[in-house]
Amino acid sequence: MVPTLFIQIRNVVLAALLGLLPMADALAQAFPNKPLRLVVPYPPGGGADGNARSLAQPMASLLGQPIVVENKPGASGILAANTVLQSPADGYTMLFDTFPYVVNAVLHKLPFDPIKDLIPVSQAINMPLILVVPAETPFKSVQELITYAKANPGKLNYGSYGAGGAAHLAAELLARDAGIDWVHVPYKGGAPAMADVLAGRLSAYFTNPITGLAHIQSGKIRALATTGAQRMKILPDVPTVKEIGYKDFEVVEWNGFFVPAGTPTDVVTKLSDAVKLATQQPEVQKRMAAQGVEPVGNTPKEFGAFLQGQIEKWSALVKSNNIRAD
């Protein structure tokens, strides 16, 4: 009798344990259960790279897995986007894209559709740009630069971190609104463009604050204006381009996370939540404030609506000004 009862109990326990196996397997497969990859379209040392690395570390802690940042510069972000789109749509490979996302389809013949083939996960940051010139140039204000440019068409040049980027279109906006003619010199990233400003090989450059602030504060370059709606808290004495008289002039750089279309909704939500929580970390907010950067961290739906507005605004300028990929 006892052995029979023992066997019955053993069978019940075994059945229960076997029933738990699928659940255990599901838990073992819960996202993420291996390191993630974050592909950045620009070289190390630039603004996008700095923002990506600032957020990758707290996101890794929140997700419980390392996030490896991989730099894939070239073709205004197209190479990086292709790298991500060729990866499985499982959330383990993310794109940290920037401003050119909204104009690439207008400027380039793309091998993919950025709207249909990529899912917006979360906008990471906003930041105005800063119009800077080498310290040794005579320009002390935007108006002095414009006056010279009007008197000497084609003699001034400006740098950008790729055709269709925020720096490029900010300079195009100024050319349109001020009626000046200057020469575009595109680079593969913010760091090499800044190197040429410091060396005096570029007349002007709309830098992002991450790349430019330290050089401005050290006196190696001069800040003439910023491109946001209000003055930057970290540069309170530098006027906005709007203040100078160009009331419709506003350019804000942004960075955000994307994954390939087909990525499961629950994975997208988990990544979006991680971005939002990372941007709310006190140390992240303190670091970004010191760099002139505004953390965002919104939902996929909110990021998608923002992108639609940006696409309409900048695609119209690209077409009306006949801007082309250099």
Residue by residue, DSSP assigns 183-216 as: EEEE-SSHHHHHHHHHTT--SEEEE-HHHHHHHH
| pTM for this predicted structure | 0.79
Per-residue confidence at 75, pLDDT binned at 50, 70, 90? confident
227 vs 310: CA distance, rounded Å: 15
Is residue 1's pLDDT more than 80?
no
Per-residue confidence at 105, pLDDT binned at 50, 70, 90? confident
The domain defined by 36-126+252-320 carries CATH number 3.40.190.150: yes
Is residue 23's pLDDT more than 70?
no
Higher pLDDT pick, 6 / 122: 122
The proportion of the chain whose per-residue pLDDT surpasses 90, expressed as a percent, equals: 67
294 vs 257: CA distance, rounded Å: 16
**Residues 275-315: tens digit of each pLDDT:** 999 999 999 999 999 989 999 999 999 999 999 988 888 88
23 vs 205: CA distance, rounded Å: 56
Phi, psi (deg, nearest 5) at residue 193? -65, -45
Is residue 55's pLDDT more than 90?
yes
**Residues 207-261: tens digit of each pLDDT:** 989 889 999 999 999 999 999 989 999 999 999 999 999 988 999 999 999 999 9
The Cβ-side half-sphere exposure at 70, using a 13 Å CA radius, reads 18
> Which residues have C-beta within 8 Å of that of residue 2, sequence separation ≥ 6?
none
Any idea which of 46-55, 89-98, 104-113, 304-313 has the lowest mean pLDDT?
A: 104-113
181 vs 155: CA distance, rounded Å: 8
Helix (H) and strand (E) counts in the chain: 13, 11
Tell me what the pLDDT averaged over the chain comes to: 89
Spatial contact of 69 and 77, defined as CB atoms under 8 Å apart: no
2 vs 160: CA distance, rounded Å: 84
- pLDDT for the residue numbered 160: 92
Is residue 325's pLDDT more than 80?
no
Section 78-84 average pLDDT: 93
- Does 36-126+252-320 match 128-244 in CATH topology? yes
CB atoms closer than 10 angstroms to residue 204: 26
> Which DSSP category does 232 fall into?
-
Is residue 60's pLDDT more than 80?
yes
Using N-to-C axis directions, what is the helix angle for 300-320 and 166-178, rounded to 10°? 40
> Which residues have C-beta within 8 Å of that of residue 141, sequence separation ≥ 6?
224, 244
Is residue 7's pLDDT more than 70?
no
> Which residues have C-beta within 8 Å of that of residue 186, sequence separation ≥ 6?
159, 160, 161, 162, 163, 168, 326
161 vs 200: CA distance, rounded Å: 17
206 vs 176: CA distance, rounded Å: 15
The full set of domain ranges for the chain reads: 36-126+252-320, 128-244
- pLDDT for the residue numbered 326: 57
The proportion of the chain whose per-residue pLDDT surpasses 70, expressed as a percent, equals: 90
> Which DSSP category does 239 fall into?
P
Per-residue confidence at 321, pLDDT binned at 50, 70, 90? confident
Residues in the chain: 326
Closest listed residue to residue 168, CA positions, set 207, 201, 194, 199: 207
SS3 content of the chain, % helix, strand, coil (to 5): 50, 20, 35
Fold of 128-244: D-Maltodextrin-Binding Protein; domain 2 (3.40.190)
Section 187-209 average pLDDT: 92
Section 129-154 average pLDDT: 97
